[in-house]
Every structure is written in structure tokens, then in C-alpha cells.
Amino acid sequence: MWQARHVQSRLAGLYPRAEVTVLGVTTEGDRRLDVSLARIGGKGLFTKELEDALASGRADIAVHSMKDVPMELPAGFALAAVMERDDPRDAFISNRYPGLQALPSGARVGTSSLRRECQVRARHAQLEVHPLRGNVPTRLRRLDEGAFDAILLAAAGLRRLGLEERVTALLEPEESVPAPGQGALALECRAERSDLLELMKPLDHRDTRVCVTAERSLSRSLSGSCTVPLGAYAQLAGGALRLRAFVGLPDGSRLIAGERAGPAAEPEALGTALGEELRARGAGAILAEVEKQAAGESRSSDLP
């Protein structure tokens, strides 16, 4: 809701004669908090109901966290704008310890992300990683109640909610590669709405779109979803674009990382090239193993 109201405020500033209202929509990802995202279908869990509202005409624009938007949009929909990125980093939060390195063996770390879980397990095998769902206040409350020694959240979400003071440390991309699009907001509309596509142009941030395009291209080339521990983060420097990425198994036992640079004018090609490089180095086998594990969990969940 903060994100929707933020966009509402920006549009009101751009078009003071327009009436901009917020339509609250609860998605399946918001409702099903007792099961991990990987087991109930992945990224579309946070977008489908909003797209239904667009298709029916109840809403003109949908506001998404970019990292929750599937790599392929359904036919008939378009990204009208990718707004300027906020802090893309992951945040470490603890009431007792200053960072991941300071956690003792057996310490409990909570996260809802397979991407974060994989990287923690790969770099800190002595720690226990456990699932943590719910909105941000719920996750912080569980930490404060002692269920975890530390939790990991997106820094941008904490800042937007005015909870920056809860951040103990920020994890640099070298330690925790962000999710593709993390920290950016996406505005989606029906592809036929040329009027809206034009009106949203002032909210589109060119540098952010370039970086996010490279990240999503890599994820698309590796069939990235919530079932695959995958991170991708691009940075612009002049006319050059640098992309780093990884893919791994949830338990952190295998992780393949790489980085590549290319012209900023060709972000899609850069993402695809790095994705193909990771595949050549063994990412394909990892993806096959993750798919096999996910299929096994799905069959187990169908048992009486």
C-alpha cells in the first residue's frame, strides 16, 4: 500500500487535474502465509489478482515490487514504467549480533527467500536457516519474541515503512546478490492503453530500466522463479553495464557465480550472455536438480 500511495502522490504531482485513487487488492501471496513461496507457485502469486483488476477495467495501473513480476508478462500486458531504484541490498537485522559473521554456530536465521537462504548456507554453513513469512512488522515481532537470532529483509521495504532504525547491517552485493529488480517499482497496464503508456513515461527511470532489463534477461535465460535460488544485480558506469549473478541449490551445497560487462545499450544481450555462461559452467545441472526437488515436494504435498 505504501508503494501504491507513493505512485499516487507522484501522479498527482505530474497531473494535478487528474483524480488518482488506490484500489487495494489482496493477492494469493499475501493470503497464504503458512507455505513457502516456492511451494505455492512462485512470482505470479503477487501479480495475478492485480492483472485481473486491469483486465476487468477495475484498475488502470498496477503497482508491483519489480522483483515479484514474472519474467514473462501475460499476453496483453505491458510494463509502462520502471521507477528509480531504491536501495537494492538485503538487510541483516538482529537484537544481539552485528552481522552474519558474528552469529554463533547453530544460530537461527529467518528468511522467506531461497536466494538469501542459499547464499547464507553457502557462506555460513554453521548457521540454521528457517522460513519466515508474513508482513514486515510480523517478521520483526517474531525476531523480538526470540524465534530467531537474526532475520534478513529487503532494505528498500524497511526504508519505505520508516523502519530504517531496525537495520543492523546492510549486506553488500558481494556478500548477498540481490534479486533481479530488487528495490525498483514496476507500473503495469494493459498493452492496448497507449494513453497510459504515454502518461507513465515521466516515471520511467532510464538507468534503472537498463539495469533491471539486464537482470531480468539473465533470470529469463535461466528460467528464474521463486523455486530457483538466483540473484542478479547490474550497475551502470558511464556507457558500460556490469552484471553479476549466481544460481545455486537451496541448501547452498552448489553455487555458481559470475559477472560480465557490456555496453549499456544492450542490456538484454548482456543478461542472456551471462546466463549462457553460467549454464555452460554447470547452472543447467543445478536448475535440473532444483526442478527435481520441487517436483518431489509437490508430490509429497498431494499425499493424504
Within 176-302, strands assigned E span: 185-190, 230-237, 240-248, 255-263
Is residue 121 within 8 A of residue 246, CB to CB? The reply is no
Kindly state the helix (H) or strand (E) to which residue 175 belongs, with its residue range.
none
Residue 215 is placed in which grid cell? Answer: 537482470
Cβ-proximal residues to 304 (8 Å cutoff; 6+ apart), any chain: none
Residue written as cell 555462461? 277
SS3 217: helix
Residues 248, 239: Cα–Cα separation, whole Å? 30
Q: Which of 30, 34, 52, 68 is catalytic?
A: 68
Amino acid occupying residue 94:
S
Q: What is the distance, to the nearest Å, from the Cα of residue 184 to the centroid of all Cα atoms in its chain?
A: 9
Within the chain, strands assigned E span: 62-65, 77-82, 90-93, 108-111, 128-131, 150-154, 169-171, 185-190, 230-237, 240-248, 255-263
DSSP state of 145: T
Question: What's the Cα-to-Cα distance from 231 to each of 101, 127, 236, 281, rounded to whole Å?
Answer: 21, 21, 17, 16
Residue 174: exposed, middle, or buried by beta-carbon count in 10 A (0-12, 13-18, 19+)? Answer: exposed
Residues 277, 257: Cα–Cα separation, whole Å? 10
Does the active-site annotation cover 68?
Answer: yes
Task: Name the residues annotated as catalytic.
Answer: 68
